[in-house]
Amino acid sequence: MADKQENNNNQEEKLLLPLPKWKFWYVMIVLYVLYFLDFATRAVVSPMFPVLKAELGLSDAQLGWLSTIVLAMVGLLSIPLSYFIDRWRRGRMLSLMSIVWSVASFFSGLSVNFTQLLVTRGILGVGEASFNSGGQSLIMAMVKKARRATVTGLWTTATSLGMAFGMVIGGWVAVNMGWRMAFMVVAIPGIIFGILAWFMPDYKNRPKDQNGAAGSASMSFGSTMKAILTNKTAVALFISFGLLYYFLNTIVYWLPTYFNRYMGMDVTTAGSLTAVVMISALIGSPLGGWLGDLISRKNPANKMLLCWICVCLSIVCYVCAIIFNTWPLFFVVTFFSYMYIPAQHTASQEIVPFYLRASTYGVYIFCMFFLGGLWGPAVTGMVSDASNLQMGFWVNGGVAVLGSIGYFVTYKLFNKDYAKARKLEEGVTYESA
């Protein structure tokens, strides 16, 4: 038994994509900057809500849809594009996607009505659809098991920095240079780094292993989806994070407006303070990744226990922030919310064999949006139109409570599916591409 466990550990430590340091850092820097720009282009619209409402006469529901349409396209296309990523060059897919979303952001600045804004924001979502899948699978291939959640946590800080940058640019540029220019400012760097992404190294799965069993290159789309959706831990994880992303996404997109309406802040101040709140992830994500790696060395399932604790603390702080109407508590809310994300991202990749990682992450992203994150901004806007924005925030907290329950299920199931995934990897071959 001990020998078997040692063999499994050795197999786990054999990297799919061993790289010299300069190539590793090349890939990580490009991935980090593109992840930063991914979220900057999403968030730049949020502090513009009051300006767009006044200039284009949009309702709160329409403003919510400017965020929701992006997530809808990401969710709809995440599965087919991620399935394709497992069979082609990840870097080239990331390159093409970043160029598409950057061009779409530029054309958002040329829009003259709600319909044009909605269409260009939707195309932006098409470009961002499987960036997470390709990036996360590359990190899993380059980094040893003991540091994966830590590296993922550091990579995830790009999302909060991107959000913060987008919020600041969206607020400051909209007031001083016009909202159209804000969309354009975040577009140009994406094209530049998209070109650099084309040259990133990668690994490629071979069609069959030495025993004749199929690897991902020869698995049909139906067989791939069946393998993923019959994984009980994966399904429980997908449902939980879908509901919890409703919670987090609502905060991200509506917090500037909440500050504006309930705390009397102007547009620039509200956007800037929301950026400060988002920066909490700079501490929360790396700390959560490091803790996830630390507590999972003897028991991989402990990652899910960490997730549950962080979610509960986040919900308690969120309730207090609304009751006492104080913005620093929202900083603590996002701190704990970002703490559990690296462990969860890593867990989603560890419970399947390596040749299904991008496809699994595609399903993960689909569920993240369509089970919650997609609807958060729009539903909150509709509740605000029917009642008020604060009521929308209370509904948001209730959804988070439901989402937290699923982590108990994943904690119980995790180790069984983790061991099964390692067994399926035995003998499967791959090559650099």
Please report, for the chain, the start and end positions of each structural domain, with discontinuous segments joined by +. 15-432
Instruction: In whole angstroms, give the CA distance from residue 272 to residue 171.
Output: 7
Burial of 342 by CB count in 10 Å (0-12 exposed, 13-18 middle, 19+ buried)?
buried
Residues in the chain, overall count: 433
Digit-by-digit pLDDT tens for the chain (433 residues) are: 334 443 444 444 677 777 888 889 998 999 999 999 988 888 888 888 888 888 888 888 788 788 778 878 887 888 887 777 767 677 788 888 889 889 899 888 888 888 899 999 998 888 777 787 778 888 888 888 878 888 888 888 888 788 778 878 777 777 778 888 888 888 888 889 999 988 888 776 554 444 444 454 557 788 888 888 899 999 999 888 889 888 988 887 788 888 888 888 887 788 778 878 877 878 888 898 899 889 988 898 898 889 999 999 999 999 999 999 888 899 899 899 888 888 888 888 889 888 888 788 888 888 887 888 777 887 888 898 888 988 999 999 898 998 888 888 888 899 999 989 888 877 665 555 5
Whole-structure pTM value? 0.71
Instruction: In whole angstroms, give the CA distance from residue 324 to residue 345.
Output: 33
Domain 15-432: which topology? Answer: Growth Hormone; Chain: A; (1.20.1250)
Instruction: In whole angstroms, give the CA distance from residue 132 to residue 139.
Output: 11
Predicted local confidence at residue 11, as pLDDT: 46
Predicted local confidence at residue 433, as pLDDT: 53
Instruction: In whole angstroms, give the CA distance from residue 202 to residue 169.
Output: 34
Predicted local confidence at residue 210, as pLDDT: 47
Task: Tell me if 209 sits within 8 A of 429, measured CB to CB.
Answer: yes
Q: Which residue has the tokens 């965020």?
A: 67
